[in-house]
Amino acid sequence: MIATVQAVSDVQILDMEQIELREVNATLQRAPSTNYTQFEILNTRGSHAIAVGLDAEIEVIVKGSTGYYCAGMNQRATVHVTGSVGPGVAENMMSGTVIVDGDASQYAGATAHGGLLVIKGNASSRCGISMKGIDIVVHGNIGHMSAFMAQKGNLVVLGDAGDALGDSLYEARLFVRGSVKSLGADCIEKEMRAEHLDILADLLARAGADAKPQDFKRYGSARKLYHFNVDHADAY
């Protein structure tokens, strides 16, 4: 067993001033074989790869800010970061929930297949790049090239979106309440139908976002890049 880990009530405290990152992640990853379901990570000091590769229905609170790839590859776990996160938060998440109270740096939720990522501050560039089924709700703004080549899932933005939103988009749904600086290639505004309002209402409720679905606009793929257009042969 790990001598340096101290139990306080039912929450297992993992203090990174005393425990190496590798041991923190190993402890979380072997949670299914223990009785613990709640963890708190302290003194993160912007470290990389905190709470990655989890695969159990556990709750992890990360106190403070983190560096690259926090909660990457998450399955089933709930990871709540009280500060801001560096690049690649919840990258390739499969399921579960990741909540960030602060801001997220670039490529938040990149390539993720499932789960819910909630960013209560702003997300910078390339948010949801190549997303493959994740739901992302950003309470603030998102940066340029967000949802680039996004394939599946929902990206909800309560604030504004930067340049080239949804460039080369496949079938992900993008909902933006504020302004969109510019749309990327093949991304267009689409009709908001009743089914979309229902999806949006559910996501906003799950993300604790105080916003009305009817205030959003929906963007999606014009599907013109799906097939080669012979009229463009001269361009190659």
Partner 1 sequence: MCGIVGLFLKKEDLRPRLGDMLADMLITMSDRGPDSAGIAIYGDQGDGHKITVQSDTPDTAFDGLDTALGDRLGAPVTMKTNDTHAVLTVPAEALEATGAFLEARGLRIMGVGEAMEIYKETGLPRDVATRFGLRAMGGSHGIGHTRMATESAVTTLGAHPFSTDADQCLVHNGSLSNHNTMRRVLAQKGFAPKTENDTEVAACYISSRIAEGANLGEALSGTLEDLDGFFTFVMGTKTGFGVVRDPIACKPAVMAETDDYVAFGSEYRAFAGLPGIDSARVWEPEPATVYFWER
Distance CA 52, CA 28 (A): 9
Residue nearer to partner 1 on the CB measure, 25 or 124: 124
User: By the 8 A CB rule, do 177 and 215 touch?
Assistant: yes
Distance CA 140, CA 121 (A): 5
Q: Taking CB under 8 A as the rule, does residue 130 contact partner 1? A: no
Write the binding mask 187 to 206 for partner 1: x where contact by CB under 8 A, - elsewhere: --------------------
Q: Which of 30, 45, 206, 212: binder of partner 1 (CB under 8 A)?
A: 45
Q: Taking CB under 8 A as the rule, does residue 106 contact partner 1? A: yes
Q: Taking CB under 8 A as the rule, does residue 125 contact partner 1? A: yes
Distance CA 118, CA 50 (A): 17
Q: How many CB atoms lie within 10 A of CB 185?
A: 13
Q: Taking CB under 8 A as the rule, does residue 143 contact partner 1? A: yes
Distance CA 62, CA 82 (A): 6
Distance CA 84, CA 121 (A): 8
State in angstroms the smallest separation of the CB of 21 from partner 1: 12
Region near partner 1 per CB under 8 A, out of 54-62, 97-105, 168-176, 221-229 = 97-105
Nearest to residue 225, comparing CAs of 187, 189, 174? 187
Region near partner 1 per CB under 8 A, out of 60-68, 72-80, 128-136, 210-218 = 60-68
Binding residues (CB under 8 A) for partner 1: these are: 45-47, 64-68, 84, 86-87, 102-103, 105-106, 124-125, 143-144
